[in-house]
Amino acid sequence: MANPAKTLEGIIKAICDRTTNDIDEDKLKALKGIVRRDERALRYAHEVLMKTLTRSRFAGTRERAVRAMDELFTRSVLFRQLTLEHIDAFLKYAVGVDNDVPLPDEPKGEAERLRQRAVDALNAWETKFKHAHKQLTIVRKFAMDKLGDEAPEAKAAKARRVAEEKELKKQQMLRDQWRATREDTQAMVVEIHSTLA
């Protein structure tokens, strides 16, 4: 008979495998089925996912661990409690609030994907569960304050401002070209009238 802990570890390892194109939905479904029936399995799954999150050197692996945690967080009160007990590790290794522990960024851009996934999860958790878990609002605000300009919302706002400024410059350039063309046209009309007269 297979060892249940090893089976659970194998499922989580397959879910967090960064070498595949996407998360294995069948394994994720199997994980949800196992932990739904067994509190000890849920606790162990949380432990393995947190170890994966804190020990992996790869952002892709961490990002998939965050996805699995997000799925379980929304379905289980106990998983929420366990995650909130270790929220500092989630913030440090998934959101990247600790400057002394940078998020892994190989290949380039993976750290940003990990951060975005973690912030999206944190936002969703706060939206759904802030009444039952008041600390989620504080945690989310802390994370956004700590990230500052690196926060996804701040980056999106900056990108919007840059796009708006670019559009304003483009519109001003078009207005200037139109004015110049109008003045040239008026000058040509005057020249034509004087030639014909």
Residue 119 contacts by C-beta under 8 Å, 6 or more apart in sequence?
95, 143, 144, 147, 151, 152
Give SS3 for 15. Answer: helix
Residue 66 C-alpha from the chain's centroid: 10
For residue 68, the tally of other CB atoms under 10 A from its CB is: 23
Residue 3 sits at φ, ψ, to 5 deg, of -70, 120
Q: Are 86 and 95 in contact (CB under 8 A)?
A: no
Angle (CA) 147-83-9 rounded to 5° is 115
pTM exceeding 0.75: no
- Give me the torsion for CA of 115, 17, 58, 69, rounded to 10°: 40
Type of residue numbered 196: L
Return the closest-CA partner of residue 10 out of 85, 26, 196: 26
Q: What is the pLDDT of residue 56?
A: 92
Residue with tokens 């994370």, as numbered in its chain: 143
Q: Are 89 and 66 in contact (CB under 8 A)?
A: no
Q: pLDDT per position in the chain (197 positions), as tens?
A: 467 788 899 999 999 988 877 888 999 999 999 999 899 999 999 999 999 999 999 999 999 999 999 999 999 999 999 999 999 999 999 998 888 888 888 778 888 889 899 999 999 999 999 999 999 999 988 888 887 656 666 556 666 777 778 888 888 888 888 888 888 888 888 888 788 76
Q: What is the pLDDT of residue 2?
A: 61
Q: What is the pLDDT of residue 1?
A: 47
Residue 55 sits at φ, ψ, to 5 deg, of -105, -20
